[in-house]
Amino acid sequence: MKSAFGKVLTVLFVFFQYSTALHFYLRTGDTRCFYEELQEDTLVVGKIDAYEKNDQGEYFKNGNLRVEITVDETFDNDERVVTQKSSPSGEFTFTSHEAGEHKFCLKPVYNDGTIGKAHRVFFDIASGSAHDYADSKSTKQVDSLTAKVQNLNTKLEEIHYEQEHMREREAMFRNQSESTNSRVVKWTLVQLVVLIGTCFYQLRHLKSFFVKQKIV
């Protein structure tokens, strides 16, 4: 895992000079915003992975789920430079025209108007000089860059698969623990009922014995 992750970072930083990755939790219709300081002519590439939480506490992808993405220039009366509605696994790209603070906001919504759901959202952004990208095109390095990006996507898929496998194992272990705890509680109740029944029987037997012996 560590080796694969190191290779991913190496490929990513070949082109992008800055990157960040995070995840957070929020409910349908709620908005979460983040602020980034960008230089002029900065190429920004963002990736989103959004999941819905079911009644069993597990997260899965819902095809009706969308993530509304907006990017505003806070230094210029919140002028909007990006507005997009992404699928649960989507990307967005833009180039900053001026240097300053930019506000990235994300809001999960549904095509069918569903509300009240809980979500986990993974948000990754990487940025680099747009001039460097233009230079790479002019020097015919696009094929090399494409191959690196494809390699990066492959590594990310491998990491994502391992994470999903770990979550499945954790869910299985949790279910087994809950089942064991349930059986322990049931067995304890059975023992308690048997103990109470035995005590009641012994008390009745002793009372009958004392009556026969004319002690009571």
**DSSP secondary structure string for all residues of 73-123:** ETTTTTEEEEEEEE-SEEEEEEE-SS-EEEEEEEEEEETT---S-EEEEEE
Amino acid, res. 42: T
**pLDDT of res. 134:** 47
Query: How confident is the model over 50-106, as pLDDT tens digits?
Result: 999 999 989 999 989 999 999 999 988 889 999 999 888 888 888 888 889 999 999
**pLDDT of res. 26:** 93
Residue 210 reports pLDDT greater than 80: no
Q: Is 173 left (phi over 0), alpha (psi -120 to 50) or beta?
A: alpha
Measured between alpha carbons, how far is residue 173 from residues 1, 169, 170 in Å? 21, 6, 5
Structure tokens at 209: 């014995």
Helix (H, G, I), strand (E, B) or coil at 29: coil
Query: What pTM does this model have?
Result: 0.54
Tell me what the mean pLDDT of segment 134-148 comes to: 55
Measured between alpha carbons, how far is residue 56 from residues 59, 66, 175, 197 in Å? 9, 22, 10, 38
**pLDDT of res. 104:** 94
Give the chain's domains with CATH numbers.
15-139 (2.60.120.660)
Residue 128 reports pLDDT greater than 80: no
Q: How far apart are CA 137 and CA 139, in angstroms?
A: 5
